[in-house]
Amino acid sequence: DTAVSQTPKYLVTQMGNDKSIKCEQNLGHDTMYWYKQDSKKFLKIMFSYNNKELIINETVPNRFSPKSPDKAHLNLHINSLELGDSAVYFCASSQQTRGLGIQYFGAGTRLSVL
Amino acid sequence: SQQGEEDPQALSIQEGENATMNCSYKTSINNLQWYRQNSGRGLVHLILIRSNEREKHSGRLRVTLDTSKKSSSLLITASRAADTASYFCAPGGGGNKLTFGTGTQLKVEL
């Protein structure tokens, strides 16, 4: 069983489209994250939810909207995609309450905007 | 939160050699974590060292922490081709936010 799974693995789309990436964790963790990794390998946090509540919201264009229907799921919806959105997006989870905060990552979604 | 800065950016060694990579950070921490990322994969947690610890071992990995110098090092002994990956440090200030840098790209050649 994959601990943190995200779909799709690859996403190729045209500029201006809207797309979603889904993430699910079966570790029972209370906190989930979205990261963006650029071509230089820089890994930047975008959002974090703790028990469905948004707790980290970095300087991210409001075209990006996270949604957490329950604490095991954190989806990322992106409107009006731009060329600069091309990157690998990683979902992660951790146990923050009475936990060490070790993060477990999904395999990534490689987004290519043409 | 704060970002760890890994050094060197890239490291190429022969199989069997030791690999050392360093991490520097700027403010006080509760712990520091190291992660590995294989090409095309997500990050995998390797080891966590608490601020009151100076050294920690896990298999072929040895991590040191010097809070007075705000630095950490990761040593991989007897490296293998399978150790080829990017290595990231993540200083933890007590909250749930980890800030990663660009990592050290390690290449282990046969």
Rounded to a whole number, what is the distance in Å from the CA of B91 to chain A's nearest CA?
A: 11
Going from the first residue of chain B to its last (110 residues), give the mean pLDDT of each consecutive group of 10, the final group possibly shorter. Answer: 84 97 92 95 95 96 97 98 96 78 94
Which string of b and e fits B38-62 if b means at least 16 CB within 10 Å?
A: eeeebbebbbbbeeeeeebeeeebb
Instruction: Over range A97-107, report the average pLDDT.
Output: 86
Segment A9-48, tens digit of pLDDT: 999 999 999 999 999 999 999 999 999 999 888 899 999 9
Instruction: Over range A49-73, report the average pLDDT.
Output: 90
pLDDT bucket at A1, cuts 50 / 70 / 90: low
Whole-number pLDDT of residue A52:
84
Whole-number pLDDT of residue B94:
66
Partner-chain contact A41 B44, CB within 8 Å: no
DSSP state string for B56-99:
EEETTEEEEEETTTTEEEEEE-S--GGG-EEEEEEEE-SSS--B
DSSP state string for B17-40:
S-EEEEEE-SS--SEEEEEEE-TT
Partner-chain contact A90 B40, CB within 8 Å: no
Whole-number pLDDT of residue B32:
94
Segment A71-90, tens digit of pLDDT: 999 999 999 999 999 999 99
Q: Does the pLDDT of residue A60 top 80, yes or no?
A: yes
Partner-chain contact B45 A92, CB within 8 Å: no
Contacts of A48 in chain B (CB under 8 A): 96-97
Which residues is A91 bridged to in the sheet?
Answer: A34
Partner-chain contact A42 B102, CB within 8 Å: yes
